Amino acid sequence: MQTKRTIFPNKLLPYALLAPQLIITIIFFLWPAAQAVKSSFEREDPFGFRTTFIWFQNYTRLFNDPGYLNAAGRTAVFAVGVTLLSMGVSLLLAICVNRLLRSGRLYTTLLVWPYAVAPVVAGILWWFMFNPTIGIVPYLLDAFGYRWNHRVNGNDAMILVIIAASWKQISYNFLFFVAGLQSVPKSLVEAAAMDGAGPFKRFWTIVFPLLSPTTFFLLIVNINYAMFDTFGIIDGTTGGGPAGATNTLVYKVYADGFLGLNIGSSSAQSVLLMLIVIVLTVVQFRWVERRVQY
């Protein structure tokens, strides 16, 4: 069938139609990024009268700063924790829902809700539940003889932010895993059952390998999420504390730049983060787009 084509001779029209998106991208993405790159090479005096161009000093300082290296380590722990926990739990939930015939859709709908909760709200929610003074979880843990206090104990704080951040991401992973599981042909599982594989063996030798494209995609997305998209949750629960125990790279950009007003260092940090995002995106496009081959 031939589609009817209408030709608008006006040469400016396409630009006019693209303009809103382009303007938003330039003002809110490209220009700030350029500003960040520029100010990462500068130092501002305490009163904001003068800026000096200092080449890579901000960067070299960062790599010699134990606080920054500590934050990088914390970020790694946090990212691995969030990725494993949220993917593990959502895979488990997806398997359960996939076994249901009738009520599966209802559970799917309910399980997607957390994704709609704003990060800070989610953070506050968990902050309440884990609040050492009034929270329900420390109360219950106390019964087992564990004194929960994420305001003092760095490990407690890390566990809290990992749980809070994972909880929000479970919905997203869950949807992808459910779709992935449904695309594994049922006859393969049946064939494996006839080949003498029990339910666990069937899962690990047939279903899980066939799910690998989904798993790999989610792995990248989750690392991305944990590293760059969890500022709100950390700010709502621990505020990076205690003593920098939950101070991830993204949170440190905010803390140094907006609280510490060290714009140069903060900019250098965000440029480094930008590089990490670029690398992850390249990995995603190179490998995920091509799909994991089996």
Positions touching other proteins (CB under 8 A) are 185, 187-188, 190-198, 201, 205-206, 209-210, 212, 294
Instruction: Give yes or no for a contact between 39 and 267, defined as CB atoms under 8 angstroms apart.
Output: yes
The greatest distance separating any two alpha carbons of the chain, rounded to the nearest whole angstrom, comes to: 78
- We find the least distance from the C-beta atom of residue 97 to other proteins, in angstroms, to be 21
- We find the least distance from the C-beta atom of residue 216 to other proteins, in angstroms, to be 14
Closest of 85, 107, 104 to residue 168, by C-alpha: 85
- We find the least distance from the C-beta atom of residue 196 to other proteins, in angstroms, to be 4
Give bridge partners of residue 14 from the DSSP assignment. Answer: none
Q: Which is nearer to other proteins, 112 or 210 (CB)?
A: 210
- We find the least distance from the C-beta atom of residue 289 to other proteins, in angstroms, to be 19
Q: Which is nearer to other proteins, 101 or 143 (CB)?
A: 101
Cβ atoms within 10 Å of 267's Cβ, excluding its own = 22
- We find the least distance from the C-beta atom of residue 293 to other proteins, in angstroms, to be 9
Q: Which is nearer to other proteins, 52 or 182 (CB)?
A: 182
Q: Which is nearer to other proteins, 26 or 188 (CB)?
A: 188
How many Cα atoms are found within 13 Å in the side-chain-facing hemisphere of 204?
4
Q: Which is nearer to other proteins, 105 or 201 (CB)?
A: 201
Q: How far apart are alpha carbons 109 and 116 in whole angstroms?
A: 12
Which two structure tokens, joined as six digits, stand for 71? 């934050």
DSSP conformation class of 115: G
Instruction: Give yes or no for a contact between 220 and 273, defined as CB atoms under 8 angstroms apart.
Output: no
Q: Which is nearer to other proteins, 104 or 242 (CB)?
A: 104
How many Cα atoms are found within 13 Å in the side-chain-facing hemisphere of 18?
8
Q: How far apart are alpha carbons 202 and 108 in whole angstroms?
A: 24
- We find the least distance from the C-beta atom of residue 217 to other proteins, in angstroms, to be 17
Query: 29 burial class (0-12, 13-18, 19+ CB within 10 angstroms)?
Result: exposed
Q: Which is nearer to other proteins, 209 or 260 (CB)?
A: 209
Query: 190 burial class (0-12, 13-18, 19+ CB within 10 angstroms)?
Result: exposed
- We find the least distance from the C-beta atom of residue 192 to other proteins, in angstroms, to be 7
